[in-house]
Amino acid sequence: MLSEENNKGVDLKKIVVGGSVFVAIVVFVGFFLHLLSPVAGESRGRQILFEVKPGDGYKKIIFDLGSKGLIRSKSAFTLLSLVTGSAMKLKPGLYSLESSMTSGEILSKLVSGSRTEVSVTVVEGYSVYDIDRLLSSLGVLKAGELVEADKRNFLEGKLFPDTYRFFKNSDVDEVVGKFLDTFKSRTDPIFAGDGTGSVSSLILASLIEKEIPDFEDRKIVAGILQKRIQAGIPMQVDATICYIKEANLYPDNKSCYPLNALDFKIESPYNTYLHTGLPPAPIGNPGLSALVAVLHPKSSPYWYYLSDPATRKTIFSRDLDEQEGNRVKYLRNQKSKKPL
């Protein structure tokens, strides 16, 4: 009888222990699945470009996923990738991931490989119209998508010149987001001490980017243009006339030159021959050199300048008589006016 009771006690203990183990397993599995769940709910998910470079090991890739806020737990993701045998199958490329994706979905994408991507180099001074044509020619966006986005979000000046990697057939918001992130990261350090206002500096830099190639000359011209603004004298920058014509000609890619007398009479807030002060917005996308020049203008006795079409050298003048003499000397064979 005692033996039977002991056996019952042992069986009960086994049941209790087994139940505890089962509960522990259920709790562990539940917690593990929670760690693999999306960082954000579907309604709050955001799209993030994620790059895996050739040679990146799975540990670095998983670390970067965590840094981007795409996974809840690096340890859980590591365990999942090792258990499924996926750790060594992660492919380099550019991926469009969302914070509403589970770790399993992200892992599956990284194993499957990215969509077709292209390298895009945006040159200093390119306008939104130039960049729209470039992106559409490479199949990143449809023609006109970036121009329409500019009308909604005022992107001109913030499409920072650099080399980018984009997916073909990308979403325009995804492309714009990458441009703006790059602009912020590259310009925040230099605008930090800008007491004149970053918008004004950006507009002025866009003019100088279009007209002056040499950095030291850019600082002098920044000083000239600021001096003319303060004196209430029209800046008379030909590049602004070209921008007006470019907007009117889009989507055609025709040169704005030669400029004729009627071009300088086009009524537009961008016409710096008819209106004093800065135009309402940038006329292109300046690089760091032009931005730094504007933030560090150089004082000079000059009020005018022009560019020698043969050498692209900037010729400075102290007064209108000297400027007219330089026009005759350097521009006598030119059919169009040149900067100031």
CATH code where residue 71 lies: 3.30.1490.480
Number of domains in the chain: 3
pLDDT exceeds cutoff 90 at 191: no
DSSP conformation letters of 195-238? SS-HHHHHHHHHHHHHH--SHHHHHHHHHHHHHHHHHT-----H
116-159 pLDDT tens trace: 788 999 999 999 999 999 999 999 999 999 999 999 999 999 99
Same domain flag for 315 and 292: yes
Both tokens of 100, joined, read 């509403």
**Cis peptide bond upstream of 251, omega within 30:** yes
More confident residue, 298 or 44: 298
- Angstrom CA distances, 314 to 11, 41, 77, 222, 302, stand at 97, 57, 59, 13, 12
Distance CA 94, CA 179 (A): 15
Indicate whether 226 and 319 sit together in one domain.
Answer: yes
In a domain, 181, yes or no: yes
288-301 pLDDT, tens digit each? 999 999 999 999 99
Domain ranges, residue 200: 193-331
Domain presence at residue 31: no
User: How far, in Å, CA of 67 to CA of 53, rounded?
Assistant: 16
Q: Note whether 171 and 215 are same-domain residues.
A: no
End-of-domain residue from the set 161, 190, 219: 190
Q: Domain with 137 in it: what CATH number? A: 3.30.1490
Phi, psi of 74 (to 5 degrees): -70, -35
Domain assignment present for residue 306? The answer is yes
CA distances from 87 to 8, 53, 290 (A): 48, 15, 45
Tell whether 161 and 128 lie within a shared domain: yes
Domain-located, residue 32: no
- The answer to whether residues 47 and 174 touch, using CB atoms and an 8 Å cutoff, is yes
d(CA 87, CA 77): 10
Overall average pLDDT of the 325-333 stretch: 85
- For residues 72 and 169, state if they share a domain: no
Q: Which of residues 165, 190, 215 is at a domain's end? A: 190
Structural domain includes residue 17: no
**How far from 41 is each of 38, 44, 50, CA to CA, in Å?**
7, 5, 19
For residue 178, give the nearest of 239, 125, 135 by alpha carbon. 135
What is the average per-residue pLDDT within 188-209?
84
CA distance 157 to 257: 22
Give how far Cα 114 sits from Cα of 49, 82, 160, 167, 267, Å. 11, 21, 25, 9, 48
Assess if residue 77 is contained within a domain. yes
Residue type, 93: G
Per this entry, what is the length of the chain? Answer: 340
β-sheet bridge partners, residue 49: 96
Under a CB-based contact definition with an 8 Å cutoff, are residues 317 and 221 in contact?
Answer: no
User: Could you tell me if 97 and 131 lie in one domain?
Assistant: no
Domain termination residue (choose one: 112, 145, 161): 112
User: Is 9 contained in some domain?
Assistant: no
Asked whether residue 171 falls in the same domain as residue 140, the answer is yes
Give the whole-angstrom CA distance, residue 219 versus residue 227: 12
**Whether the Cβ atoms of residue 246 and residue 129 lie closer than 8 Å to each other:** yes
The 8-class DSSP code of residue 318 comes to: S
Can you spell out the DSSP letters for 47-109?
EEEEEE-TT--HHHHHHHHHHTT--S-HHHHHHHHHHTT-GGGPPPEEEEEETTS-HHHHHHH
> Can you tell me the distance from the alpha carbon of 60 to that of 278, in angstroms, rounded to the nearest whole number?
47
Interior CA angle at 337 toward 335 and 338, to 5°?
Answer: 120
What is the token pair recorded at 59?
């540990």
Does 266 lie in the same domain as 234?
yes
* Least confident piece of the model among 33-47, 89-103, 165-179: 33-47
Q: Is residue 102 in some structural domain?
A: yes
What mean pLDDT comes out for the span 273-281? 96
Region 223-246: mean pLDDT is: 95
Could you read off the pLDDT of 46-77 as tens digits, one per residue?
Answer: 778 888 988 899 999 999 999 999 998 898 89
pTM of the shown model: 0.69
Does residue 179 sit in the same domain as residue 262?
A: no
Q: Are residues 79 and 148 in the same domain?
A: no
